[in-house]
Amino acid sequence: MGFVRHENQGIAWWSAPQLEALGLRHGVSERMGGISPAPWNSLNVGGSVGDEQARVAANHTRLMQAMGAENLAQHKTHQVHGTILMEAGPANMRGVQPQPEADGLYTDKRGHVLVKHFADCVPVFVYAPKSGLLALVHAGWRGTVADIAGLAAQKLVQLGADAGGLYAAIGPSIGPCCFEVGEDCAAHFEPGVVLRGAGKPHVDLWQANARFLMQAGVKPGHITLAGLCTACHTDAFFSHRAEKGKTGRFAAVAWME
């Protein structure tokens, strides 16, 4: 089962029904419904791509209102394609400057919204419903290779979750159809996720992250893949590769009610 689309107040987002059924509020936003002009049109929530900060803030507010999270504590970090996991707290509240560097956030608190930004990289949600634990990570190819998804699952286990009770979802991101790489990049991945044919190799980041999650103990049936390629669908999502680096950022958002 893939992700499903929701829309409210002119804002759309995608979520995993399996995680929804377990009580997790979450979603990956589409790019339309905001106020930013091209090349960030229109619901750009990325503050480091050249867009005016006032527009970015207004877009973020629109998204939070549409998803019903505007009155909750919101947490975000400066993403650096690493593997640092940071607990959601005062140091990474939205608006704190400078933002701490971390590509993963986790929490055991309800009503705390984890926020990450994307434009081809992989959003990975990891949820332990029985233990009340949640993680959200930003996995670019470097973060994927370094196992940030598996590290997030391991972190929740360290905090008391049972690995067999973890659920995960891999959101819209660049797909194996479009993630063409050089041999130097392909060499970092297991052969099973490198697709070869005519031309350069392609890497399946979705399966790469799923494999790391399973190695950390997540059951295959507990992992949902959105199967939506951002580079193929620039009408709905920002794509750094397809738009040659001149684009905005959409958000992945998650919280426990």
Q: What would you measure as the largest C-alpha separation in the chain, in angstroms?
A: 51
- Report the predicted TM-score, pTM, of the whole model to 2 decimal places: 0.97
* Stretch (H or E) spanning 19: helix 17-21
- Specify the pLDDT at position 1: 56
For 194-247, the pLDDT digits (tens) are 999 889 999 999 999 999 999 999 999 999 999 999 999 999 999 999 999 999
**How sure is the predictor about 166, in pLDDT bands with cuts at 50, 70 and 90?**
very high
Q: What pLDDT is stored for residue 90 in this prediction?
A: 97
- Give the pLDDT score at 198: 87
Contact residues for 143 (Cβ-Cβ < 8 A; gap 6+)? 81, 82, 83, 103, 121, 137
With a CB cutoff of 8 Å and minimum separation 6, the contacts of 256 are 23, 24, 25, 107, 109, 110, 111, 112, 132, 134
* Distance from C-alpha of 115 to C-alpha of 73, rounded to nearest angstrom: 11
CB 213 within 8 A of CB 150: yes
For the stretch 27-79, pLDDT in tens is 999 999 999 999 999 999 999 999 999 999 999 999 999 999 999 999 999 99
Where residue 205 falls (left for φ over 0; alpha for ψ -120 to 50; beta otherwise) is alpha
